[in-house]
Amino acid sequence: MANGSSLFAQNIKSSDKKSNRTEKEEEITKALTFAIGEQVYGIEIPYVKEILGVPKITRVPCAEVPYYIKGIINVRSKVVPVVNMRACFGKEEIEYNEKTCTIIVELKDITVGLIVDEVLEVLSVMQKNIAKTPDLNNVNENKFIEYILEMKDGIKLILDIKKIIFDHDLMLRLD
Amino acid sequence: MAKIESGMESMIDMYIFETNTLLEQLDEILLKTEEAQTFTDDDINEIFRIMHTVKGSSAMMGFDELQYLAHKGEELFFIIREKPGQLDDVSFIYDLVFRMSDLFKAEVELIQGEEEYEATDFSDVIKDLEKGASMLTDGAPAAGTEVGTYADVEKEKAGGCPGEGAVTVRIFFQDGCKMENLRSFMLLNKIREEADVRGFHPADLEGDPNASDVIIEEGFTVTFKSENDDNDSVLKLIENAINVESYEVISDGKPSETEAAESSSTAAAPVEAAAPAAENIPAPIVIPAPEPAFTAAPVPAASNANQAAALNTGKQSIISVNLAKLDQLHDIVGEIITTESMVISNPELEGLKLESFHKSARELKKLTDELQDTVMSIRMVPLAGPFQKMNRIVRDMKMKLGKDAELKIMGEDTEVDKTIVDSLNDPLMHLVRNCMDHGIETSAEDRVEKGKPAKATVTLNAVSSSGEVIITVSDDGKGIDCEKVLRKAEMNGLLMKPASDYTEREIQQMILMAGFSTNDVVTEFSGRGVGMDVVRDNIEKCGGTLTVESKTGYGTTFIIKIPLTLAIIQGMEVKVDNTVFAIPISTIRQSFKVRNDEIIQDTQRGEMIMIRGECYPIIRLHEKFAIPSEITNFEDGILLQVETDGKNVCLFADRLIGEQQVVVKPFPAYLSRYNIKGAGLSGCTIMGDGSISLIIDVANLIEAY
């Protein structure tokens, strides 16, 4: 985390210095990054409502509900479904530990909790860091990716929340 | 094409609400007067007022077509009002006005709809209204209706001498409040209710396009004389009117100033007229109108509809609130209660001696309970609304079918959750129609022959009993013809067992099945065979049940049982491993322990139990919901006998936790694409400790079994 925040500060500084020189340098948005295994993913900040630990999950015992939807949780009297991102990306599930977090995202009145291995940092998304998503048909996983950030400390995949929330067929194809 | 002006959106809701309320009032008055076959002066004035208010608010919202329609209706009643002696044959008026009211309702529904609103053409009914008006004015040509219009008479009145005691007031509206002419017009109407308006300027508020500008420039001048010399109350009314910036009393009715008042009031449009009048008073009293208390809802229409109440009490005692806000309030209260129990039963407090803490905690609990009850009671509305609407249905059906019947309404003050009341409208309508169409004998002779009064009775009754409201719709008609029903069911392939095996009760319930209609002829009102099962589905959707009881020759009764509120049910919480389920208490018949030797195994490894000579299948909840429970032996757990729609099963759970009121929450929208309901779960609820329990839908559970 400490590393992350210094990086964040650095970004701000650099953008201040060369302010408005070119459009590419400007911050487009901020993203919250998290890890699943070795890979770093991100979600644009406007979608993120809050970050929780792993609360008590109540399983929804219905055969139709896919395995990566772990159940429902109580977020301040609101019933929110939770998706295990590991399972969702077809990775092996691991036990929840003290680093495991639930990121509550919201889009158009639909709220979903995403269970991730670890929440990392908030970083500024600059136009210059964005690389176009390669071949969309290549890997299933890429279909959830809105764009890729190439940062000094590695590649970060920014997720497309719309697809995670609305594109159920995509999720089902992963099963 | 009527377009909703920007800035009007917030008013639309109010407009729709007000207009609907007024239209319902109109229907009620019409039904009442039709019954009595005569219009009293009060009725005519009331109808006139309704038309007028609708017209005003429609114009305000820019719905020109509606305004015109209301205007024509108003004109019709204006003629009736002015010539009360000529009402020899008024029957055609009812049909005309009912038609108009229907069109209005349909149009308001359109406005309410999601799609872009497009004005409907009312020329047909307007033509008829004009024809009706001309008939009333002794066969004068249609144009003749214009002769006696409202504005003309007002002008006449304005021409009269204001007389002693009349007050002239100049009113200024807030800058940029728009449509000053209509605001003036509506204010004028309000003043009219309190006082006798002697004149006003500008005189032509509706027709003159420049009226608004004149009002902005010079203010709106009105001369009135209060009926009981209580001019102050009228001034107060003006002061409190919406969007009124300030007003000044030009002449307070003292004889010396009569002239001035006259000059300002009689003038058709003299720009200077008001000015000298003002000069007559050395120091005009300018009283800045206080900001209306409800600026948040700048809806003149609102004050109009409630004006009767408002005038009596000075302030409205009823406000209308957006249902979404109530839901939000309800959620917050639920949250507070959850949080409260998290605090009070916090594990960190365990073992501490906290006497005063527990005392305060109890106090808090009492208050939050009260808060919850209050919030729940806000959502409760009486059934009078949907019940009263049935009067209209019975009236229309009576005319069309030529059957004589009356509607008896009982228990209309029974209160039910708002959402349920809304969803009851359609089912009630179908049931009443069904009673009128199928239930009641076609000819009065048949009835007399059977020793029943020639006039049939349809009864609506509502009673509340322990968390449930029971609504009955009954008729004293011919009852359900079981043989006919059975034949029909056989024909439609609805029979599941030999016809002779069906009991009378079972046959009667068949009429609620999909695709069933015993009436041989399809009528306008019913008989398409979709009615009854749609009714049943609608009622079941809001958690209720529909049954039918009938006695051949004596009549049919439909019984609707609905929960008082959707939001809270009384639930029995049971535990299966770590999962907590809530089972609606209303479905539970008993819970009991069993010995293994009481269990009967059938050939398919299904398990059953014999209770008082009846065999019930057992559903193991842990198996059904795939929960790895350690308790699989019947002797270790507990059985609950549940019943719904006459079907019984026993549920096997680990143990009972207790009875609790649970706030029902639907599953999140994200999960809506999975058929969770089909799996036997109707929703979830948040328990005192913050964890979630699942609410079992017994009907679906049995069906899935």
Q: Check residue B227 and give its pLDDT.
A: 63
CATH code assigned at B22: 1.20.120.160
Residue B691 lies in a domain: yes
Phi, psi for A105 (deg, rounded to 5):
-115, 150
Q: Tell which residue, B288, B3, B49, B300, has the closest CA to residue B150.
A: B49
Residue B294 lies in a domain: no
Residue B2 lies in a domain: no
Task: Encode pLDDT of A27-61 as tens digits.
Answer: 788 889 898 888 888 888 988 989 988 888 898 88
A101 or B204, higher pLDDT: A101
Q: Check residue B665 and give its pLDDT.
A: 80
A131 touches chain B (CB under 8 A): no
Which two structure tokens, joined as six digits, stand for B94? Answer: 């009812």
CA distance to A112, B211, B466, B675, per residue, from A173 (Å)? 20, 67, 49, 19
Which two structure tokens, joined as six digits, stand for B46? Answer: 């009331």
Interchain CB distance below 8 Å, A58 and B684: yes
* A85/A89 Cα distance (integer angstroms): 6
Q: Are residues B167 and B134 in the same domain?
A: no
In this structure, of B23-27, B299-303, B624-628, the range with the lowest mean pLDDT score is B299-303
- For B381, residues 6+ apart whose C-beta sits below 8 A from its C-beta are B415, B416, B417, B418, B421
Contacting A residues, span 83-102, partner chain B, CB-CB under 8 Å: none
Q: Check residue B677 and give its pLDDT.
A: 77
The structure's pTM equals 0.48
The highest-confidence range among B102-111, B436-445, B534-543, B552-561, by mean pLDDT, is B552-561
In this structure, of A71-85, A138-152, B533-547, B642-656, the range with the lowest mean pLDDT score is A138-152
Q: Residue B144's pLDDT band (boundaries 50, 70, 90)?
A: very low
Which two structure tokens, joined as six digits, stand for B414? Answer: 């029974």
Q: Check residue B136 and give its pLDDT.
A: 65
Q: Check residue A18 and give its pLDDT.
A: 44
Q: Check residue A73 and give its pLDDT.
A: 92
Q: Residue B126's pLDDT band (boundaries 50, 70, 90)?
A: confident
Q: Are residues B126 and B217 in the same domain?
A: no
Q: Residue B147's pLDDT band (boundaries 50, 70, 90)?
A: very low
Domain that holds residue B331: 323-376
B221 or A118, higher pLDDT: A118
Average pLDDT (B256-284) is 41
B266 touches chain A (CB under 8 A): no
Task: Encode pLDDT of B598-616 as tens digits.
Answer: 888 877 768 888 888 888 8
**Chain A closest-CA separation from residue B537 CA (Å):** 23
Contacts of A77 in chain B (CB under 8 A): 331, 334-335, 338, 686
Residue from the list B624, B626, B686 with its beta carbon closest to the beta carbon of A74: B686
Identify the closest residue of chain B to A77 by CA–CA distance: B335
pLDDT at position B275 over 70: no
Residue B652 lies in a domain: yes
> Tell me, what DSSP letter sits at residue B605?
S
Q: Are residues B22 and B96 in the same domain?
A: yes
Residue B301 lies in a domain: no
Q: How do beta strands A154-159 and A39-44 pair?
A: parallel
State which of B148, B170, B199 marks the end of a domain.
Answer: B148
Q: Are residues B20 and B129 in the same domain?
A: yes
Q: What Rg do the C-alpha atoms of chain A give, in angstroms?
A: 17
pLDDT at position B406 over 50: yes
Interchain CB distance below 8 Å, A77 and B667: no
CATH code assigned at B603: 2.40.50.180
Residue from the list B670, B686, B694 with its beta carbon closest to the beta carbon of A81: B670
Q: What Rg do the C-alpha atoms of chain B give, in angstroms?
A: 33
**HSE on the CB side for B391, CA within 13 Å?**
22
Strand order in the sheet with A118-126: A118-126, A27-36, A39-44, A154-159, A145-151, A130-131
Q: Across the A/B interface, how many CB contacts are shorter than 8 Å?
A: 80
Q: What is the mean pLDDT of chain B?
A: 73
pLDDT at position A20 over 90: no
Reported in sequence order, the residue ranges of B211-348 that DSSP labels E, i.e. its strands, are 220-226, 244-251, 286-288
**Chain B closest-CA separation from residue A21 CA (Å):** 40
Q: Are residues B228 and B127 in the same domain?
A: no
CATH code assigned at B197: 3.30.70.1110
In this structure, of B89-98, B152-161, B315-324, B670-679, the range with the lowest mean pLDDT score is B152-161
**HSE on the CB side for B369, CA within 13 Å?**
7
Task: Encode pLDDT of B56-112 as tens digits.
Answer: 788 777 777 788 888 887 777 777 777 655 555 667 777 777 888 888 888 887 777
Q: Check residue A82 and give its pLDDT.
A: 92
Q: Residue A81's pLDDT band (boundaries 50, 70, 90)?
A: very high
Q: Are residues B537 and B505 in the same domain?
A: yes
Q: Check residue B170 and give its pLDDT.
A: 79
Interchain CB distance below 8 Å, A61 and B681: yes
Q: Check residue B201 and give its pLDDT.
A: 73
Say how many domains are in chain B: 5
Residue B68 lies in a domain: yes
In this structure, of B369-373, B563-567, B631-635, the range with the lowest mean pLDDT score is B563-567
The percentage of residues in chain B with a pLDDT greater than 90, rounded to a whole number, is: 1
Q: Which of B670, B685, B694 best probes binding to A when mutated, by most A CB atoms within 10 angstroms?
A: B670
> Tell me, what DSSP letter sits at residue B672?
T
Q: Check residue B495 and give its pLDDT.
A: 75
The highest-confidence range among A95-104, B248-257, B517-526, B673-682, by mean pLDDT, is A95-104
pLDDT at position B363 over 50: yes
Q: B303 with B17: CB under 8 angstroms? A: no
Q: Which of A67, A74, A170 best probes binding to B when mutated, by most B CB atoms within 10 angstroms?
A: A74
State which of B148, B171, B198 marks the end of a domain.
Answer: B148
Q: Are residues B594 and B610 in the same domain?
A: yes
Q: What is the mean pLDDT of chain A?
A: 75
* B610/B602 Cα distance (integer angstroms): 12
Contacts of B669 in chain A (CB under 8 A): 109-110
Q: Residue B138's pLDDT band (boundaries 50, 70, 90)?
A: low
Average pLDDT (B203-216) is 69
- For B84, residues 6+ apart whose C-beta sits below 8 A from its C-beta are B39, B41, B44
B154 or B594, higher pLDDT: B594
Interchain CB distance below 8 Å, A81 and B331: no
Q: Check residue B597 and give its pLDDT.
A: 80
CA distance to A35, A44, A147, A162, per residue, from A47 (Å)? 17, 6, 15, 10
Average pLDDT (B570-580) is 86
**Chain B closest-CA separation from residue A44 CA (Å):** 20
Interchain CB distance below 8 Å, A168 and B684: no
Interchain CB distance below 8 Å, B627 and A62: no
Task: Encode pLDDT of B216-250 as tens digits.
Answer: 777 777 777 776 666 777 777 777 776 777 777 77
pLDDT at position A12 over 70: no
Q: Check residue B271 and give its pLDDT.
A: 41
B460 or B149, higher pLDDT: B460
Q: Tell which residue, B31, B28, B27, B69, has the closest CA to residue B52.
A: B69
Q: B695 with A60: CB under 8 angstroms? A: no
B301 or B643, higher pLDDT: B643
Interchain CB distance below 8 Å, A58 and B331: no
The highest-confidence range among A141-150, B82-91, B523-532, B643-652, by mean pLDDT, is B643-652
State which of B540, B563, B586 marks the end of a domain.
Answer: B563
**Chain A closest-CA separation from residue B677 CA (Å):** 9
* B638/B362 Cα distance (integer angstroms): 33
In this structure, of B299-313, B329-343, B411-425, the range with the lowest mean pLDDT score is B299-313
Q: Are residues B548 and B405 in the same domain?
A: yes
B579 touches chain A (CB under 8 A): yes
Domain that holds residue A39: 2-174
ipTM over cut 0.85: no
A58 touches chain B (CB under 8 A): yes
Residue B72 lies in a domain: yes
CATH code assigned at A74: 2.40.50.180
A76 touches chain B (CB under 8 A): yes
pLDDT at position A104 over 90: yes
Say how many domains are in chain A: 1
Residue B140 lies in a domain: yes
* B56/B67 Cα distance (integer angstroms): 7
Task: Encode pLDDT of B423-474 as tens digits.
Answer: 788 888 888 888 888 788 888 888 888 888 888 888 999 887 756 788 999 8
